[in-house]
Every structure is written in structure tokens, then in C-alpha cells.
Structure 1
């Protein structure tokens, strides 16, 4: 799923970490930054980097997140910048507040969102989380081989049962074909795919969200195949390319067409687009509605860098601090001490942020700017680095997962009480759509 290069590196690192002694977490940050910056490196080149990384971590595990899919993302619904609690625009030079939220375990503050996910299906296929469909249902991809998507399953966290949703086919005559990032629409699930060694070719597929048969919508070549993010509406599949621009293809087939007014823009969640990609330097300065033409400017604080926004909230660096604010600049304040903040999906069509903690013992921290609550996920210390993943959704993350830190974490979820040593392998996960709505 998604770019093979990053997936190879992440999985090799995670596997090697299981069998190695301790290492400092500084290297983990360097690897994470490198993988995000080189998102589109050639697979063979990245394979060499992965081998080098394995050698590097022979001395110990890395605290590294699953970099798939990476980048910013936005909720599909909601009114940009609107909130009853908004205090009005702030002056661009206004300094943020200095209060720093308390970080407590997510299991204490959001127990309804903590769950477990099997690492394998009943038939032995490996599971990779994709996204949360709602507060109790997750979308998983079952892989018949490394990175080879065979089908999509749903997983009910209340019953622990998996259900096959749709088979993931490969186009005829295309060897080394891989399905890529998956997008969940209101009625349709869509994904795109490409072939290793053919960077100028890609195709698009759709299937009913309720299950059924997948069908190919169409193929693209050249610059249109350099897919960055996809979306799906009732009648079209839309996508943006890394060089900028958003395109549309009818679900019933037809030639791709550029979306008017989207020149140089990147899709975030239809119909919204941004003026900057996740991997570019600089600040996001606006959101554009590609249906109505509405443009919402971002009120940036002076000295800001790397600002990225959802439909209501923005986060980025300001000096040596990390700042969060609304689109109009109001409610500006500092985030907890962490780095690598990215937008994540929270219920009620709002956005939150997830980051890598610098001084507290968690694998990741999740911040809800509407409530000011920050939860720590997983446990890590300098002697025992950890990793976390966010699924392979084309939209921004709605699930975060890692290995259980201790067997007792699985026992606490009643997976096999009293027999934790014989528990089937599971991921410990946080369903971000199960967080309570303020």
C-alpha cells in the first residue's frame, strides 16, 4: 500500500527492533524526517537505505512511526473556521499563550477509543489498518504477500469479528502491481494503484462502501499518474498530482479533466484544496473550495514556519515552539512539548494533532484543540524505543496503532484474560473517531 519505499523501510525497522537491544531515539527522529522528505524516492534506492537502516539498528530499536501515508489531511465535512468558541481574529504578531496541557494516558481520558486489532486474518493474511469508518468499525487491508493487497475487511471492535468487504484485484497484464492509498467516501471506497518501475502509469478503482465488487474507473499516464491524494464523490473520482493541480474522472468512465480553478493546488478533502503540499517547505496560506470558488486565507503568526491546517485548526512551528490556532488566527496557543505535529481526524468534523513527544514517556501524543486535552499513546523510554502507525488512508489519520507495551495491556481488553503469554498477536490502537465530541 502507498509508496513501497517507505513501507519497506518501516517494516524492516520494526521487525529488526523486535530482536535488538536499546538505542537512543535521536536516530529515530532522523530516519523519520528522512523518510518523509524522500517520499517519492525510487523503490530500489530505498531498498538500499532499508538495508543500511537494518545495519544501523543492529544495536537497538527505533522509536519510529509508520510513515504511511504521511502528510496533511482534512475532514470531509464541516464549516471551515467556524466554531462557537472562536474568540475572533488575533493580531498576526500576537504571541501564543504559554500554558502547556497535562499529558495523561489515552486509556484514562478516552477509554472508549482504545481497542485492539488482530495482526492477522483468520486465513493467515497479514492485516494493515486503513482507517476508522465510525466509532466501532475499522477498515483493514488483508495482504496475501508483502505489501500485496488482496482484499478489504471491516473489523467490529465491539464483537472482535472481521467481515470481508471487497476483493482487491490487479489489472491484467500488469506485473508488480500494488494498490495504493485508500479513500473512504460517503457511499464509495476508492483507491489507486501503480506498477513498480512504471512511474508514469496509474489506475483508479472503486467499490461500494457496503461491500460488493470492485471495478476499475480508468487509467492515466504521464504527469497525471504522479498521484498525491485522491477523493471520491457520488459521480467522480478526484485526485491531485505532486506538481500541483486537481483532476476529475467520472465513476462511469471517461477522460480525465482538470478541475477549474485548481491550477497549482493540492486536494485535501473534496471540495477543499490547499496551496502547498505536505512535503514542501513554507506555510499554507489558504483553503480553496473547488465547487464554489470560496477562498479562506490563513492568518499566519509572524515568524511561523510549516503551518498546516485542517478546516478549523492550524498547527506549525514558531521559533522553537509549536503553535496551534484557528484559521483566522484566534485561540492561538502552544502545543505540548513534541515535534512532528500533523493533522488527524476527530469526530464531529473537527481536526486534532498528533506529535512525537520529546520528554514524556509516550510513543505519540494526541491533542484535541477544541477541548485542550492531550492524551499519550503507548509507552517508551530512552532504553526502549517504540514505533506507531497511522494506517494507509488517503485522508488524514483516523486511527493510530502500535504494539502493546506490556502483556497486561491486552489482558485489560479481555482478549485472553489470564493467558497473556499465549495471546494472538494484536495491535493496540486508538480509534480517533471514537473520541467524545465536545
Structure 2
């Protein structure tokens, strides 16, 4: 088994324009080449111009004669075309799904996407025992809408939420999907978007059952050339969405095991893996921005902590918290300041909590905390202290932020989803009560 080099995988059919070009020219080049994104050359840096940027331009009625440099476009990470494909793993936790492959002189060689990496993964190296249902909790955030939703009403939400698709459901069964690729076609055809999504959604939806193996899911993505897997339960109801990126992470974990089993055949990459093993473990269990545990690792720790609670007849509670008006922070100050807020709130939670407590980033601006040996009364006191400490934070540019918290009791016989649901209801009540407060399951 030999792992390919970047230059053997990268897509060299890349369209680019200089950053001094007008926005109109960039859009014309994108549409003329039927691409969902083009590369913007900015000196020694490279930026990406995507369909979502075009939608934002249309929504904000930006002057198309302005130079492309007037837009705040994301910088694409770069990697030498002569590197091994394993070296792309460190980029998978990055929100950017593109990596620029460059030559020795820093000129553009091509683009690597999650699709390119997935295409070169051999499904037969995966364990059939790994099932999609085991990983749905770490699946991509979903946006579901009804078939009567107007496309124009979705544009802002897709732009602000960095969503590349929405799923159309009826009785929670997926009946259609609209992706940024579909929107690119509509833009190219200059279609008015004040129409229901049912008119232009792709249907029927190709889906896979949640009991399918990771191998089957990967083969499904490769055969369909999709960026994501729509997962349904036994009755055909939407169970979740798992992206290529998440499947890739699982695949690399399996590859790490295979490398140890076939050391003779894999001698050329052993040195790479020995250096990266700890990095892989960290990536698999932590949130790349805050350094806290991620959802998957929290779920793992919840199970072991729950067993200990039952064995020792201890109390245990859970807190679900949300940063108030976080969207306003992003809108007013930008995502870089938003990221700073998330990091400083995360550090404050860690400093305030006890050593035995387990805290994770649950998703977006939400955090979840498990409190071993704490009953509901003590958990409420801890939550109040967290609320106070965050309120007192002075954050660069953004100033002060507040949090709302929901507290639930972990009772013997209840699973994690039930406990999370109770905390979520309490959190909803806290927000409805004016935010910057704590509510427990007893308040519901």
C-alpha cells in the first residue's frame, strides 16, 4: 500500500483571476467555466471566491464594478504538491474545505478538496463493523425546510451559516435537496428566486440507512459523487447528515491501525505516522478552535462517567449553555472576533469548573458540561457562578457577553439524549426569560 502524493491527487483544472479584477469579471469567469468556486491570486497568497460569496453580493446589492479585493475572502491554506496525502489530515478540522497545492516557486499547482481525498480512499480498508448510526451525533449541522419555502428567504441564512445545502422534508422524510451547485445554475440562468424551493430542488433524495457501515457510506459517496450522505432511519425519516470530511477522519483512524499491521509494506510512511499518532488522537477528540472536547468525545466520556455514577450511587448533573446574541457579535465584528469570544468563554468555563467536571463544545456557540457528584441544587450554583464569570469577562473589541444556561439531572436509567433534551428545554426557558440566567428542569 502506498499513499499518493498531493500532485497525484490535486485537481489541476482550476480557474483563477487576479485580486485586482472586478467582482463582475470574477462572477463572469465562474459562470462561464461552470464552476462553484474560483481561486483569487493575491500575491503569494490564494483566496477562494464561492457561490456563497455571489449570493451575499446579490443579497447586499454590492457594486459589481468594485475590485475583488474589496471583499473579505478567505485565504486558502497551501501545501507543497510534493507532500504526501497524509499531510492533508491536519487541515480537515479547518472550516475551509479547500487546500491549495503549490509548486516550489509558490505558483498554483491545483486544488485539493474533501472530494479529492475521499476519491482516493480505498473502502476495503475500512471495518464493516463501523456503522453510521454510531457517528450521527458528530454529523454535520442540518437545515430542514418545507417544500413551500421561498429560495430567496434562505439566501441570508445559507450565507451567514456557511451552509452549502438545505434538505426539504415532509413529515420529516427527505423529499428534496437544494445545494449551492443548484444555486449556481439558477444564477447562471438568471432565474428569479422568489419561488418555492420545490420548483428547483433535486429529487428524489438519494439516502442511505443509518445501519449502513462506514465502508458502504464511503462507496455511496464515491459512486454518486456527493459531498455528503443523507441518512434515514428504518421508516425513511431523516436521521442526520454525515459529510465527506467526517468519513475521511474515520478512514484515517482505520488506516493508522492498518499501518501497524503491515509495517513491512508501509515502511515508507511509518515515520510520518509515528510523528502524527498523537496529533490524530487529539484531532479525533477535541474541538480545533477552543481545545475543548468535541461532541463525539463528550458522548464517550458521558458513558464511562454514567457507569461510575451508577456503581457509586452518586448524583450527577448536566449543563447546556449558549452565548447570548452570538450572531450579533459575528455580524457586527466579524467571525475572527466571534472566534475570540468562543475561545475566551471556553477558557473561562475551564478555569471556573472543578477538576472532575467535563466540558465540551456542543456546536456553534453551545457548550455542554457534565458535573459528576453534583445534584441539581449544586449544579444550579455552579451554573450561576459560570454565568457571573462570563458576564465579567472583558473581551477584545466585543466587550462583554452573557450566557444562558439550562440544567438537568442525570438519573439512573436515562440515556444522554433524554438528559440533553431536558437541559435544552431549560435553556430555551432561560432565553425566553430574558437571557443571562439559569433555569433547571424543575422550572420547565
Fold match by TM threshold 0.5: no
Q: TM-score range by the shorter chain?
A: under 0.3
Give the structure with higher Rg (CA): 2
Name the one with the larger helix percent.
2
Name the one with the larger strand percent.
1
**TM-score, length basis structure 1:** 0.25
